[in-house]
Amino acid sequence: MGGIVQSYVFIALGVMQLVAIGVGLLIVRPARPLFWYIVLAGQGVALLGNITWYLIPLIQQTQPGFPSISDGMFLGSYGFSALGLVILIRSRGGGQDRSDFLDAAIITLGLVAISWVYVILPNVEATGLDLFGRVVSLAYPLSDIVLLALAVRLGVSAGAGTPAHWFVILWIASQLAADAVYAVLVLDNHFAFGSVNFAGWMLQLVFLGSAALHPSMARLASPVTAAPPAAFRPRLVLLCGASLIPLTLIIVDRLDAQTDDTPVLVGFSVALFILVMFRMAGLMGRIVDQRAALQREVAVRETAEARLRAQTADLARSNGELEQFAYVASHDLQEPLRMVGSYVGLLKRRYQGKLDSDAHEFIEYAVDGVTRMQGLINDLLTYSRTGRESQPTEPSDAAVAFDRAVANLQAAIEASGARVSRGTLPRVAVGALQLTQLFQNLVGNAIKFCPNGAPEVQVGAELRGGEWLFHVRDNGIGIEPQYRERIFQIFQRLHKRGEFPGTGIGLAICKKIVEGGGGRIWVESEPGKGSTFFFAFPQERAMRLAA
């Protein structure tokens, strides 16, 4: 009676599984549904087989015969499953990776060794079956082997496994396990309805149904691109285990004096050994290829680095030459200009009242031009001299440099009524003279560009992110955002000569000094309210100099 209930449950599960596949196909609508159509057909055939083999004899109170029409259906459904798996593996892009294929072969061969000893050989030796019966009974384990190979192949295929992917593997695995238990039970004459193998057969229905209903089934047959990330270790353990199976079986066989399967098992061992060798050869080949690729990459990088070094050296040389040129030109231009200046001055004095007013006006222009040119040349000379002094051998005290700059600016400070203050300032890796010049230019500008009211200039420094960050803050006219880069270029000014005196060299010199000390300089400002000039020096340079 229990058998009948169980058979109803079994058949009902089979029907539900077919419905699940149908519903999955309708709702999830996989892009490549062929696998599911084939599996649906196979499971339909299997359900018919179950009805004829399982339910009808139970109702008629007879034992199923062997082989029967149901066996034909069961074997047919295996064929459908195998075909479905082949299509699935191919559409996922399996079969291209030799190492995946070899891994699958090694694991399958190890498991086949078990099947061979415990299922196939006893079947071959079984008595009481005619030839046809024996062929059919052998067809089961052999089909199982094919399914096993395909399931393992699917399992080791590249790509992260989705739930649907693993449900399909569990489907085959539970079917194979149940078949194996069934075969052993039949051979030992222990089989009865309700044996443990039925649980496996029921589970497989649940697993396939779950695979069909899980949303990831949509992508099940899609090509896999990503290689599994670092999943090599568990695979290695699996391969080791599989390749040791025949040896283990030999030991078990030796302990059991009744059988002698050693020759067959030795054959399995040898076959596995050869497969493992192929696998190792593949790995070695890959390592050699990767090493060669790495070496090529290193060579390319070294060439690029060498080129970069050469370019840097070229740049440094042409920069040096340019500075040299600016220095020589400005230095040598001074002399002829001085001559022009003094003769124009002589002209002006000697011919006072002897020339007409136009001539005097022209002479005025000439004197003015010469004076301006002298100013520019002097600035250029100062600029090209900046950084020429030898590298500092010890860090300079910014507080001392600042105080000196303020002393130099005393006249301007008194004339404008400026208030100049500072916080504690550190020691930095820049020459003392240059540091004084830097503060002098920035504080001088802060005073100069504050025409209305008394200038307030505040200077300070703080350690931030490994840098000494200085600021020079004023309450002057400020700078429009679009000019904040340009003002650091040589001779770039934002005002006419009449408005504010100057040539536009001060900030260019500041930039040169700061960058020479490995630092950077920039300005932040609110036009009309004031500007803050920032410059930052790496702290580590100063520490290295101090050490």
Neighbours of 87 (CB within 10 A): 17
3-state helix, strand, coil in the chain (%, to 5): 70, 5, 25
Of 150, 425, 507, 542, which one interacts with ligand ADP (CB under 6 A)?
507
Shortest spacing between CB 505 and ligand ADP, in angstroms: 6
**Is 386 a residue that touches ligand ADP (CB under 6 A)?**
no
**Cα torsion for 299, 305, 311, 316, to the nearest 10°?**
-150
Q: Are 109 and 269 in contact (CB under 8 A)?
A: no
Q: Which two tokens stand for residue 176?
A: 């194979």
Q: Are 137 and 197 in contact (CB under 8 A)?
A: no
Residue 44's Cβ-count burial label (10 Å; 0-12, 13-18, 19+) is middle
Alpha helices in 54-213 (DSSP H): 56-60, 69-91, 98-115, 121-125, 131-155, 163-187, 196-213
* CA–CA distance, 263 with 445 (Å, rounded to integer): 99
Stretch that binds ligand ADP, among 206-214, 257-265, 396-404, 498-506 (CB under 6 A): 498-506
Stretch that binds ligand ADP, among 111-119, 137-145, 283-291, 476-484 (CB under 6 A): 476-484
Residue linked to tokens 């290695």: 236
**Residues 196-225: x/- map of binding to ligand ADP (CB under 6 A)?**
------------------------------
**Is 382 a residue that touches ligand ADP (CB under 6 A)?**
no
- Measured at the CA of 89, the angle between CA 88 and CA 94, to 5 degrees, comes to 150
The residues in 424-463 that bind ligand ADP, with binding defined as CB under 6 A, are: 441, 445-446, 449
The residues in 321-350 that bind ligand ADP, with binding defined as CB under 6 A, are: none
Number of residues interacting with ligand ADP: please give it, by CB under 6 A.
Answer: 21
**Is 494 a residue that touches ligand ADP (CB under 6 A)?**
yes
* CA–CA distance, 116 with 153 (Å, rounded to integer): 20
Closer residue to ligand ADP, CB minimum distance, 502 or 518: 502
**Is 475 a residue that touches ligand ADP (CB under 6 A)?**
no
**Is 502 a residue that touches ligand ADP (CB under 6 A)?**
yes
**Is 155 a residue that touches ligand ADP (CB under 6 A)?**
no
Nearest Cα to Cα of residue 168 among 241, 85, 106:
85
- H helix or E strand, kind and range, residue 460: strand 456-464
Shortest spacing between CB 359 and ligand ADP, in angstroms: 33
Stretch that binds ligand ADP, among 175-183, 213-221, 341-349, 475-483 (CB under 6 A): 475-483
**Cα torsion for 212, 217, 223, 227, to the nearest 10°?**
-110
- Using DSSP, how many helices (H) and how many strands (E) does the chain show? 17, 7
- Strand 467-473 with 530-538, pairing: antiparallel
Closer residue to ligand ADP, CB minimum distance, 262 or 458: 458
**Is 479 a residue that touches ligand ADP (CB under 6 A)?**
yes
**Is 412 a residue that touches ligand ADP (CB under 6 A)?**
no
**Is 542 a residue that touches ligand ADP (CB under 6 A)?**
no
Shortest spacing between CB 491 and ligand ADP, in angstroms: 8
Shortest spacing between CB 429 and ligand ADP, in angstroms: 24
* CA–CA distance, 195 with 266 (Å, rounded to integer): 34
**Is 147 a residue that touches ligand ADP (CB under 6 A)?**
no
Stretch that binds ligand ADP, among 330-338, 366-374, 392-400, 501-509 (CB under 6 A): 501-509
Residue linked to tokens 């699940």: 20
Residue linked to tokens 């192949």: 153
Q: Which two tokens stand for residue 446?
A: 């802060």
Closer residue to ligand ADP, CB minimum distance, 243 or 441: 441
Closer residue to ligand ADP, CB minimum distance, 84 or 478: 478
- Strand 456-464 with 467-473, pairing: antiparallel
Shortest spacing between CB 384 and ligand ADP, in angstroms: 15
* CA–CA distance, 405 with 435 (Å, rounded to integer): 9
**Is 416 a residue that touches ligand ADP (CB under 6 A)?**
no
Closer residue to ligand ADP, CB minimum distance, 243 or 525: 525
Of 90, 235, 493, 520, which one interacts with ligand ADP (CB under 6 A)?
493
Closer residue to ligand ADP, CB minimum distance, 401 or 487: 487
Shortest spacing between CB 477 and ligand ADP, in angstroms: 5
Residue 193 φ/ψ region, left for φ over 0, alpha for ψ in the -120 to 50 degree band, beta for the rest: beta
Stretch that binds ligand ADP, among 185-193, 201-209, 432-440, 499-507 (CB under 6 A): 499-507
Stretch that binds ligand ADP, among 92-100, 252-260, 268-276, 488-496 (CB under 6 A): 488-496
Shortest spacing between CB 379 and ligand ADP, in angstroms: 8
Shortest spacing between CB 456 and ligand ADP, in angstroms: 12
Shortest spacing between CB 450 and ligand ADP, in angstroms: 7
Residue 320's Cβ-count burial label (10 Å; 0-12, 13-18, 19+) is exposed
Neighbours of 6 (CB within 10 A): 16
Q: Would you tell me which residues interact with ligand ADP (CB under 6 A)?
A: 441, 445-446, 449, 474, 476-479, 487, 493-495, 502-508, 531
